[in-house]
């Protein structure tokens, strides 16, 4: 395992929940790129999207990824779209082991609140299409693919197994 563990996957797949538990298990710090950006700008992701748009947000993700890649001993939960820009994910890939948390997109859409998720607002079909476009990108960047289990704790155990 390299210096960090980087979790990627579609919004709502459990990166933040699993990431916090994984960080505890590894005695690492936990960082969520979306929260990192919100704290840096003093604004919420929906507000950033509404006022500046997606391109501005993706530029913020690039800066966050480059900064976080300099650290060690972190579990980094990436926003769902971060890996869609090679320049954003490349530095994190270099600094850590990338885990793609795979969860059925229909299950995500049907069971996770899309309220605070700007790119989850266009409906189920659009969400499934977005997932279909992103999954090959997640696969390409991942060192390991871990299927999301029935509980976050079980998912953490699977990740720990693949990191050994």
Q: For residues 78 and 153, what is the distance between their CA atoms, to the nearest angstrom?
A: 19
pLDDT of residue 113: 75
How many CB atoms are closer than 10 A to CB 160?
14
pLDDT of residue 112: 81
Q: DSSP letters of 64-104?
A: HHHHHHT--SEEEE--TTGGGSHHHHHHHHHHEEEEEEE--
pLDDT of residue 20: 98
pTM: 0.93
Mean pLDDT rounded to a whole number for the chain: 93
Mean pLDDT of 93-104: 96
Q: Number of C-alpha atoms within 13 angstroms, CB side, residue 160?
A: 14
Grouping H, G, I as helix, E, B as strand and the rest as coil, residue 4 is strand
pLDDT of residue 118: 62
pLDDT of residue 115: 67
pLDDT of residue 59: 95
- Is the per-residue pLDDT at 142 higher than 70? yes
> At 12, which CATH number?
3.40.50.300
pLDDT per residue as tens digits for the range 50-79:
899 989 999 999 999 999 999 999 999 999
Q: At what angle do helices 33-41 and 45-52 cross, to 10 degrees?
A: 70
pLDDT per residue as tens digits for the range 105-137:
999 988 887 666 666 677 888 889 999 999 999
Give the range of the structural domain holding residue 34, as residue numbers without chain letter. 4-163
- Provide the domain count of the chain: 1
């Amino acid at each position: 395992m390299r210096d960090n563990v980087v979790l990627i996957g579609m919004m709502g797949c459990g990166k933040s929940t699993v990431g916090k538990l994984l960080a505890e298990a590894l005695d690492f710090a936990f960082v969520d790129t979306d929260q990192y950006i919100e704290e840096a700008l003093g604004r919420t992701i929906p507000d950033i999207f509404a006022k500046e748009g997606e391109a501005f947000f993706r530029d913020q993700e690039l800066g966050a990824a480059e900064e976080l890649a300099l650290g060690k001993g972190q579990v980094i939960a990436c926003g769902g779209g971060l890996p869609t820009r090679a320049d954003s994910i490349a530095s994190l890939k270099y600094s850590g082991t990338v885990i793609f948390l795979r969860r059925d997109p229909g299950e995500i859409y049907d069971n996770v609140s899309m309220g605070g998720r700007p790119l989850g607002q266009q409906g189920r079909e659009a969400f499934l299409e977005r997932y279909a476009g992103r999954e090959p990108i997640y696969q390409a960047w991942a060192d390991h693919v871990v299927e999301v289990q029935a509980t976050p704790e079980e998912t953490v155990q699977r990740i720990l197994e693949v990191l050994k």
